[in-house]
Each structure stands twice: as structure tokens, then as C-alpha cells.
Structure 1
Amino acid sequence: MSNIHVSNHPCVKAKLSQLRSATAGPRETKALIHEISTLLAAEALAASLSVAPAGQDTTPLGAEYAVEKVAEKVVLVPILRSGLGMIDGTSPSNFPFVLLANTHLPAFNDLLPTPAAIHHLGLFRERATLSPVEYYNNLPTSSAAAGPPADLAIILDPVVATGGTAIAAIQTLRDWGVRRIILCSVLGAKKGVDHAAGEWPEGVQVYLGGLDPGTNEQGMILPGLGDIGDRLFLTIGK
């Protein structure tokens, strides 16, 4: 599908191989997710943003120049819990205080000239049906009279396996009133990514670090990355 973009960046490919390894501990896992996210952010934002004039300013030499700013209002929407690995540079053990104690800006906010608001969605897959269940939503109340809450919402979720969680997030943000959505993931399974990209093809662009052929009976991507949430938050075997 034309709205699916799989990175060909050599560094993304190499880092994804490192991330796949069972020997990568939580610190290495978190660092690799953040680094891959930053590279994907550069690709996604370059293709999705525009600039607008914002007046005049003066250089240190006294010369005037035309100021430009990003034209779009952008919001970031990490999917709890693993989506936090794509926005935060502190230790996973700090959760739930991780956002308050953040000493490193999110990958996308690293690149944006003005930091974007971060809104969280909590979604998990029900074990028997693998259907998404929403347990947390802190999107602000919006009204049609006030205009769209954002021009661009960026969903951050390290993996797209069956696509159910991504579709639920897209539906929620579309109902909220955003104009466009970027779904950014480190890795996806082909069928699940196709489902997510087809949910709102004219409004959604999908950016991936890699694409795997499928999932197992438990809905886990193969060869995949394992359970990224468990790897980040040291809950393997829960």
C-alpha cells in the first residue's frame, strides 16, 4: 500500500538486528528503540510537515532574516506501556514517574523546533480474542467549534502485530478530530500493518523500521522482537 513506508536506512537495519537479539538487556533495548525511533522520526517528519512564515528576526551581525515555523500543530500519542520506550530517555524503573523525571526529550520532540503535547492511550490485547481493550485515554476534550485538536497526531507503538491496537488508536484519534495521523513503529507484521494502513488510507501514513512476514498463534510477530513492554519494564514471565 502506498501509505506504508519501511525504512531502508542502513543504521535502522543494523540497530533492528541488534534489538532482535535475546541477549539485549533492558538498557540496550531501551537505547536501541529510542535510536531507531529518532531515525524514523527524521524520515516521517520530513515527509509530513511544512513551514510557514513567522515574521522577522535579527542575526548576531544585525542582519534581518525571515523566520519560518512548522505550520502544523503536532501531538504525540504513545500507546501504553511499550510506547513510552519511544518517547523517554530515562530508566524504565522510574515508571510511573518517568514522564515527570524525564531528562531526555522524546525522539520526535528532539527534532521538532517546538515540543509537541504528549497524550497517552492505554490499550491491551485480550488474551483469548486478541481484540484491543482501552483502559486509559487522556485526550483533551475537543469541540467542532474550536477546530481540529491537531493537524497531525503521531501514534508511537514499537510493534504492529495483528493491527488491532493500531486500528483502535486510529479510530479514537479520528473520532477526536485530528486531520492526519502517522503511525510509527519499530517493527510490524505484514498482515497487521496492511490492516492498520487500510483503516483510514487517505488520512494515515505508516512508518516502520522493519516488516516481518507474520505472527504466531499468540499474536506475536515472528521472528519479531519478543514482548517489548516486558523487555523494557522487566516483567518477562509475568
Structure 2
Amino acid sequence: MASNLPSNAHVSTHPCLQAKLSQLRSASTSSRDVQSLVHEIALMVGYEALASGLASKQDGTDKSPLGYSFTKTTISPSANSISLVPILRSGLSMVPALSSLLPHPVPVHHLGLYREKATLQPVEYYNNLPYHGPTATNPNAGGPAELAIIVDPIIATGATACAAIDTLKDWGVKKIIVCSVLAARDGLEKACSEWPEGVEIWVGGCDRDVDEKGMIRPGLGDVGDRLYLTLGK
């Protein structure tokens, strides 16, 4: 399924991830296990994405417990130039995994997007990106990040991912990494084409298409409902 995808689409082939994804697909998997599996898959996808999207750089010296001097290493871009951007609500489930991979805390800026049922088009209902940079009266205000990491378990039609990419591009980010658990092929291609030179998309798996309700098949079901036990609402 990963063949002939855009060059900025990356589908994991890790056997352990594929086994966990298979467990996550099962309707018999409990909400507690869904939470654990999404976290574990997010760790694996994020590990691959950040290995490609970040660089290491020397950062002075320090001493080991035995008193030996060593050169410290940090990441580039620096933590204060990176933002994690979960798409509410299910994107929240991936934040702890990506945060734990980064060596220093980074700002988390939330985007609230939902798909309108009739058109399947995204509607933004929440946005806490800091559009105003530091000023004399508010020197701690933040401006656009150099790198934004979007986390959302599912890329189905691709419309939500495209809307988030457009919002962050308008904010002024220089680069975007998208981390997802599962994508539909058409949705993945659509998201990759939204800003090809600025976006890299990393997913745990890629399914063939979506159904008439915009749900990936075979897919994972409504992963937000499964995560937060709101099935049948």
C-alpha cells in the first residue's frame, strides 16, 4: 500500500508496530488497551519522524559522575522553536508520547477541528496558537514555531490535516511534521500535496479508502470514541 506514495509520505514497516496496529483494529480491544496501543504506536511513529526531522548539535561540555569531561548534545531546532499541535480531541492521546521523545519540554498549542457530517469538511472551533509575538507589554508572548508537530491518530479524507497545515502555514511555521497512527491512501496523498516543500507526514499504516461516512476501512473505527468511552453517543 505504501508504493507510489508522495515522497513526503512515510509509512512505517516496523513489524512490532504492524502487530500493535492489528491489535488496535480489533473491535474487542478495550478502551484501556486502545489508549495504551495509541500511545505505543505514537512513540514508534514519532521516533522515526523526529529522527528524520531533527538534527543533533553540540551544546557545551559537562562532567560525568566519574569526573570525565564530555561534549553535551542537544537538538536542532531548539525546544523553544518547536510546537506540538494536537488536533482535538483524539490528538491529545499522542501528546505524552511525542513529549517524552523530546529532550526538553515544548509548547503545546491545541487546534479544535471537527468534520461537518453532511459535507465531511473541517470546521475550526478552537485555536490557541500565539499569533502575537513578544511586545514591550508582554515580553513572554510567543511567535510562530520554526517546527510544528501535528499529532492526530487518523488521516481519513485528509481535509482536517489540510486545514491544520494551512492554519500553521499561515501562522508562519517553516516546517511541519504530521504524526498519525493510520491514514487512508487518498487522504494521505491529499495532505501531502497541501504544502509539499514544507510538510513531512509519518503514519503507522495506510488503508485503501474511506466509506460513505468518511471512515477509513477497514480502519480503527471512531478512535476518539474508543479512547474516551463515548461509543453510542
* TM-score (normalised: structure 1): 0.89
AA of the residue aligned to 1:36: I
The runs of 5 or more residues in structure 2 that have no matched partner are 1-5, 136-140
- 2:160 equivalent in structure 1: 165
Which of 53, 56, 63 is the matching residue for 2:58? 53
CA drift of 1:36 comes to: 0.3
Deviations 1:191-217, CA, capped at 9 Å, x for gaps? 011000000000000000000000001
CA distance in 1, matches of 2:12, 2:74: 26
Which of 143, 147, 153 is the matching residue for 2:148? 153
* TM-score (normalised: structure 2): 0.91
Deviations 1:50-108, CA, capped at 9 Å, x for gaps? 12222121112222222121121221111001111112xxxxxxxxxxxxxxxxxx111
- 1:179 equivalent in structure 2: 174
Deviations 1:133-188, CA, capped at 9 Å, x for gaps? 00000111244999962221111100000000000000001111111101111000
- 1:128 equivalent in structure 2: 118
Count residues in correspondence. 220
- 1:92 equivalent in structure 2: none
Question: Residue 144 and residue 178 in structure 1: after superposition, are their counterparts in 2 closer, same or farther (change >3 A)?
Answer: farther
Contact in 1 for aligned 2:130/2:142 (Cα 8 Å): no
CA drift of 1:232 comes to: 1.1
The runs of 5 or more residues in structure 1 that have no matched partner are 88-105
CA distance in 1, matches of 2:45, 2:194: 22
* Residue 80 (1) aligns with residue 85 (2): no
% identical aligned pairs: 57
CA distance in 2, matches of 1:150, 1:8: 30
- 1:190 equivalent in structure 2: 185
